Amino acid sequence: MTLIEKKLNRRSFLKVSALAGGGMMLSFSWLAGCKPTNEEILTMPDEWFEINSYIKIGENGAVTLFNPNPEFGQNVKTSLPMILAEELDIDWKKVFVEQADFYPDRFDRQFTGGSNSVRSSWKPLRTAGATARQLIINAASQTWNVPVEEITTSMGTVEHKSSGKKAGYGEMASLAGTLDAPDPETVNLKEIPDFKIIGKSKKNVDGNKIVTGKPLFALDHKVEGMKYASIVHPPAFGMKLKSFDKNSVTSLPGIQDAFELKIFKDDYGRNFFDTTTFPVIIAIVGNSTWEVLQAKKSLKVEWEKASDSTFPMAGRGGQNREIKVLGGLENSSTHKEKMAEYISKPGNIHRKDGDPETAFKQASRIIERTYSAPFLAHNTMEPMNAFADVKDDQAIIYAPTQAPELIRQTLSSSLGLPVENIQINLARMGGGFGRRAYSHHLTEAALISQKIKAPVKMVYTREDDMTAGVYRPTYSATYRAALDANNNLLGLHVKAGGIPESPLHANRFPAGAIDNYLAESWQIDSNITIGAFRAPRSNFIAGAEQSFLDELAEEMGKDPIEFRLELLKRAETNPVGERNDYDPKRYAGVLELVREKSNWSNVPSGIARGVSAYFCHNSYVAEVVDISIKNKQPVVESVFAAVDCGIVINPDAAANMGEGAIVDGIGNAFFGEMTFEDGVPTKSNFDKYRMIRHNEAPKKIEVHFVENNEAPTGLGEPLFPPIFAALGNSLYKATGKRLYEQPFQPQILQIENLNM
């Protein structure tokens, strides 16, 4: 499969002179981070020269590289500057890295999500580094009066060998900063074998600050005169604010005010990421977090049931369309009943190859299985919060957000300020997992600051965070296979749906490998708000599909890896249909690698083993899970992962993120679940919402990368979806029981005599 390369956006390579001397962005960044250490001060230059949006060089040769994208633990603050440093040709040890704040005029895509940071920055950042290097060369050419072609660079020095002239980049920086940037389309990029930084593990640039407890997060931010705030939202989906008694809290110690917050203007056309469960909430403001949190408990408030309502959503061509929000208090038990009804109803057909009806009529055997999974809460360790300082004519916001671009119109509308007067500064996030693509917490803090005319830090309690929605939807998928008398696979049928969206990916494997194939979907409306959760939709459908293929392989008497490879061979040599969205050879490659690394056919004694493989976010992953049973409880002994995500920028950090995705998946497969009773989320803190802990994590995880020279693809998400089935398939091997419903743990407890 070929990736379409986006034409480079030239604005990234233009200088913005107003900021060259250190505008709000730079000064704020130092304040928000921490004071430079003594070591840093020694190497601080007297003057910085801006070479382009991403790079400034000091007269002493110090280099600052900006990480454009929001950091939430995926380590872009290290890996993206590594790409710049490679092409700039400098010594990584002499690099300062700063988090860029949100500057859409300077940076192309300041968004974290879809495992896209490295993939979409690969070419632009290489080009930014290479154009900066070219500017240094051009400056040296002018200074020394020698031809550009005769100048070479190495590790931050520029040299003209025949005349013996040599200088550090710093000596050329002031001139380079005044020269016109070369056409980014024409600069030479390094050959891959010449890479010195990319592909060599570098430590997290913020590692030292993290282990010493330096302020890094928005929640750590403080300014003179700052107030503290929190919110009170309705207790249930389908409920809204009726009235509240401000006096019930304003007489309490340290409490300044309590008021109603309306997040959106009535006529504002929301975008797809303006999701918020409760558009009208109460804010409480005071002198300290603890006093505000205490006041929340004392607030006298009345809620009422909400009837059906609508809000305007921005549509194409500037026309708003109405989106309906259902009234009513929903229950998980009713959800299950409704979802079961859809299994026998016809769905919406998304793909049909061959003649699946006839294949199923002619089948001597039909295997049908239904898989399901519940709503999930993201539960980032840092709860939603934001700092805001809103004045009459401008707003400064410092907050954890994956998607500043997607909230600034909302902020502009709600605050009544033009977008150019709203500065969003990007805090390191204490986790994201998709949750912080929805940034209403920024609007809430900003509206509070505007109302009290003071800077404010607004924080959710864990309970607020867990019960405020934007969950992973609940899903169900039914797979049917038609087998003939000789156990040949005649046809496959998948029908998948959810509340309120379907997880179906109709054109993914095994589509393309089966002559008679039918993919259908359905969905059920709900007032429970949902949003992106690490590998949206894939995080469920992969588990269903790969569990079913495992079951099918067993029914057909085949090794589960061999069976998948046979299907992939078919998709490679004689594909069915034309819309198959995966490369069968790379898919097979990860299965072959994991087979080798796990020593697949030699299962250690006392171990049950399962495999799974999936393609999403342009990357291929195969995983093998080994479990044992101890004290009637499964123990994950080892996980082997094989990953093809093209070139790996920072291998050790990439492995770390892969290990994390595996742990996350095992945790959600065993325990993850949010349920509802009369609209109320039944779990509101970690005492009830079970998260995976140290003793449940795999004892060993190996992440192996396929070595190739393909452009980098996604990594944060692709290791997550396949783990659900790899675990489920190993649990089947251990117990003889297939688990069709997530979370697995309650069902494991029901298996009697669980021994191996």
Partner 1 sequence: MAQYNLNINGKTHQVDVDPNTPLLWVLRDHLDLVGTKFGCGIAQCGACTVHVEGNAIRSCSYPVSAIEDKKVVTIEGLSEKGDHPVQKAWLEHDVPQCGYCQSGQIMTAVSLLNQNSNPTDEEISQAMNGNICRCGTYTRIKAAIKTASKSI
646 vs 214: CA distance, rounded Å? 35
Among 124, 698, 721, 728, binds partner 1 (CB under 8 A): 698
Among 31, 47, 175, 217, binds partner 1 (CB under 8 A): 217
CA end-to-end distance (rounded Å), the chain: 44
Which CB, 124 or 400, lies closer to partner 1?
400
Among 685, 707, 708, 749, binds partner 1 (CB under 8 A): 685
Which CB, 330 or 664, lies closer to partner 1?
664
Shortest approach of partner 1 to residue 726 CB, angstroms?
15
The full DSSP string for 74-111 is S-HHHHHHHHHHHHHT--GGGEEEEE----TTT-S---
| By the rule CB under 8 A, 36 interacts with partner 1 | no
DSSP state of 406: G
Residues 441-480 that bind partner 1 (CB under 8 A): 459, 461-463
Count of other CB atoms within 10 angstroms of residue 475: 27
662 vs 34: CA distance, rounded Å? 33
The stretch near partner 1 (CB under 8 A) out of 266-274, 284-292, 401-409, 564-572 is 284-292
Count of other CB atoms within 10 angstroms of residue 541: 26
12 vs 212: CA distance, rounded Å? 34
The stretch near partner 1 (CB under 8 A) out of 70-78, 274-282, 509-517, 587-595 is 70-78
3-state secondary structure of 512: coil
Which CB, 208 or 334, lies closer to partner 1?
208
Shortest approach of partner 1 to residue 255 CB, angstroms?
12
Q: Note the Cα 15 to chain centre separation in Å.
A: 30
Shortest approach of partner 1 to residue 230 CB, angstroms?
11
As beta bridge partners, residue 476 has 372, 497
Among 54, 72, 398, 479, binds partner 1 (CB under 8 A): 72
- Close Cβ partners of 183 (under 8 Å, ≥ 6 residues apart): none
- The CA angle 600-603-604, to the nearest 5 degrees, is 140
3-state secondary structure of 584: helix
Among 99, 204, 529, 618, binds partner 1 (CB under 8 A): 204
| By the rule CB under 8 A, 33 interacts with partner 1 | no
Among 1, 3, 323, 381, binds partner 1 (CB under 8 A): 381
Which CB, 577 or 672, lies closer to partner 1?
672
| By the rule CB under 8 A, 667 interacts with partner 1 | yes
3-state secondary structure of 683: coil
Which CB, 73 or 728, lies closer to partner 1?
73
616 vs 613: CA distance, rounded Å? 10
Among 384, 417, 593, 662, binds partner 1 (CB under 8 A): 662
Integer CA distances (angstroms), 330 to 376, 525, 533, in order: 16, 11, 22
Among 36, 207, 418, 736, binds partner 1 (CB under 8 A): 207
76 vs 84: CA distance, rounded Å? 12
- Close Cβ partners of 480 (under 8 Å, ≥ 6 residues apart): 360, 366, 367, 368, 492, 493, 494
Among 186, 345, 574, 686, binds partner 1 (CB under 8 A): 686
Size of the site for partner 1 (CB under 8 A): 67
Shortest approach of partner 1 to residue 655 CB, angstroms?
9
Shortest approach of partner 1 to residue 682 CB, angstroms?
16
Which CB, 695 or 709, lies closer to partner 1?
695
The stretch near partner 1 (CB under 8 A) out of 200-208, 273-281, 338-346, 367-375 is 200-208
The stretch near partner 1 (CB under 8 A) out of 51-59, 426-434, 494-502, 590-598 is 426-434
64 vs 134: CA distance, rounded Å? 17
Token pair for 236: 């249930």
| By the rule CB under 8 A, 425 interacts with partner 1 | no
Among 567, 663, 706, 725, binds partner 1 (CB under 8 A): 663
Which of 381, 643, 380 is closest to 531 using CA atoms?
380
The stretch near partner 1 (CB under 8 A) out of 58-66, 152-160, 378-386, 582-590 is 378-386
**Burial letters 106-118, b for 16+ CB under 10 A, else e:** bbbbbbbbbbbbb
| By the rule CB under 8 A, 691 interacts with partner 1 | yes
Shortest approach of partner 1 to residue 236 CB, angstroms?
21
| By the rule CB under 8 A, 256 interacts with partner 1 | no
Binding mask 288-307 for partner 1 (x = CB under 8 A): xxxx-x--------------
Shortest approach of partner 1 to residue 465 CB, angstroms?
10
Instruction: Say if residues 432 and 461 touch (Cβ distance below 8 Å).
Output: no
Residue 337 one-letter amino acid? E
| By the rule CB under 8 A, 199 interacts with partner 1 | no
| By the rule CB under 8 A, 656 interacts with partner 1 | yes
Q: Between β-strands 55-58 and 48-52, what pairing exists: parallel, antiparallel or unpaired?
A: antiparallel
Which CB, 154 or 685, lies closer to partner 1?
685
The full DSSP string for 33-70 is S-PPPHHHHHH--S-EEEEETTEEEETTS-EEEEE-SP
The stretch near partner 1 (CB under 8 A) out of 109-117, 142-150, 680-688, 747-755 is 680-688
3-state secondary structure of 659: helix
- The CA angle 359-544-686, to the nearest 5 degrees, is 165
| By the rule CB under 8 A, 736 interacts with partner 1 | no
Shortest approach of partner 1 to residue 616 CB, angstroms?
18
Shortest approach of partner 1 to residue 90 CB, angstroms?
22
In the complex, which residues of this chain contact partner 1 (CB under 8 A)? 72-75, 201, 203-204, 206-208, 210-217, 219-220, 222, 228, 253, 288-291, 293, 379-383, 428-433, 459, 461-463, 652-653, 656-657, 659-664, 667, 685-687, 691-695, 697-701
